[in-house]
Amino acid sequence: TERKKFHTAPVGQVFRLRPFHVLVATGGGYAGYRKYEDYKVEQLEKRGIEVPVKLASEWEVALYKSVPTRLLSRAWGRLNQVELPTWLRKPVYSLYIWTFGVNMKEAAVEDLHHYRNLSEFFRRKLKPQARPVCGVHSVISPSDGKILNFGQVKNCEVEQVKGVTYSLESFLGPRIPTEELHFRQAPAGHSFQQQLVTKEGNELYHCVIYLAPGDYHCFHSPTDWTVSHRRHFPGSLMSVNPGVARWIKELFCHNERVVLTGDWKHGFFSLTAVGATNVGSIRIYFDQDLHTNSPSYSKGSYNDYSFISNNNKEGIPMRKGEHLGEFNLGSTIVLIFEAPKDFKFNLKAGQKIRFGEALGSL
């Protein structure tokens, strides 16, 4: 007699799903499945078992792209900037250090209470002596990371990992005007790759370095060169870990990236910072106009900015080892440059490398 009355809504209203929710749930579940598959591949590789390349189909790529990684990355960025209470800093950062194997003995400030938020911790600086810059070799590693691939560029295709390629022109975008880079005009009819090679007898080379979450997140100038131009491609923010790079063809062309181009003593030189999930923020120290992971963008668009002006005829000079920029978490650096045919890499695919160590030389 004193029971309360309960009012129930029709089942259709309770379980009403919108298309966006279905896409997020499906895409998120599939992304989780892919993470598990990547883990299995890594375990097989550790045991020395070669895993055949299996590329994603168009629908799989579309499904992965349905996950709102740009929105999630912006949310993660805001979360990283929230100031943590002093008592909470050590437990949070210690968990991160344990999970990703961070070596805090190299950090300029080892006291975990010094870092007010996760963003400051991710962008921690190193002690000056922690990364000596190799003075013998002409090109050094611009960052800590893992070597995914390196070698000569062939047939206008670049390998992101062994057996999986992407288009050189899609990655860099249309060729920058010759007068901006002080290069000679390439003869008509030459391929995009041939147009980038400015000196007879030179070849085009590439090197891909993957930065894991536990790595040092700043990147530096890999050689003495002059930066003349910046091209920013808004895009997806899919994971760029080796497993996904092996699965999605032209992954680096899908993702947001900042391409810096210029010249060094042997001709054309470029460094590209590729964004990834939770790495919507790419910062270039001398470029205050650059804003990455904007809420609105046009698919396939890009923004150009020239460092050549009436007051600066040369561009931005960079010395080998000089601070160049930073990621907010970890991502990928791609170097594409021309050099004489006797240029040799001092690397092995899959090896770990640290900023300042030699990549190659003549």
In this structure, what token pair is assigned to residue 182? 């002080």
Domains of the chain: total: 1
* CB-CB neighbours of 37 under 10 Å: 14
CB 205 within 8 A of CB 362: no
Indicate the SS3 state at residue 13. Answer: helix
Average predicted confidence (pLDDT) for the chain: 81
Q: Maximum distance among all alpha carbons in the chain?
A: 97
pLDDT in tens, 280-330: 678 899 998 888 877 766 666 888 999 988 887 889 999 999 999 988 776
Q: Which of 144, 215, 263, 287 is catalytic?
A: 144
pTM comes to 0.81
Q: What is the pLDDT of residue 268?
A: 94
Is 304 an active-site residue? Answer: no
19, pLDDT greater than 80: no
pLDDT in tens, 46-102: 666 655 667 878 888 888 877 777 777 777 778 888 899 999 999 999 998 998 888
pLDDT average, residue stretch 177-181: 58
Is 287 an active-site residue? Answer: no
In this structure, what token pair is assigned to residue 196? 């980038």
Give the range of the structural domain holding residue 310, as residue numbers without chain letter: 139-175+192-361
Name the β-bridge partners of 206. Answer: 151, 336
118 lies in a domain? no
26 lies in a domain? no
Q: What is the pLDDT of residue 39?
A: 63
pLDDT average, residue stretch 129-148: 90
Q: Which of 206, 217, 220, 229 is catalytic?
A: 220
Measured CA to CA, the distance from residue 224 to residue 220 in angstroms comes to 11
pLDDT average, residue stretch 18-47: 56
Contacts of 102 (CB under 8 A, 6+ apart): 96, 214
Is 167 an active-site residue? Answer: no
101 lies in a domain? no
201 lies in a domain? yes
315 lies in a domain? yes
Q: What is the pLDDT of residue 295?
A: 73
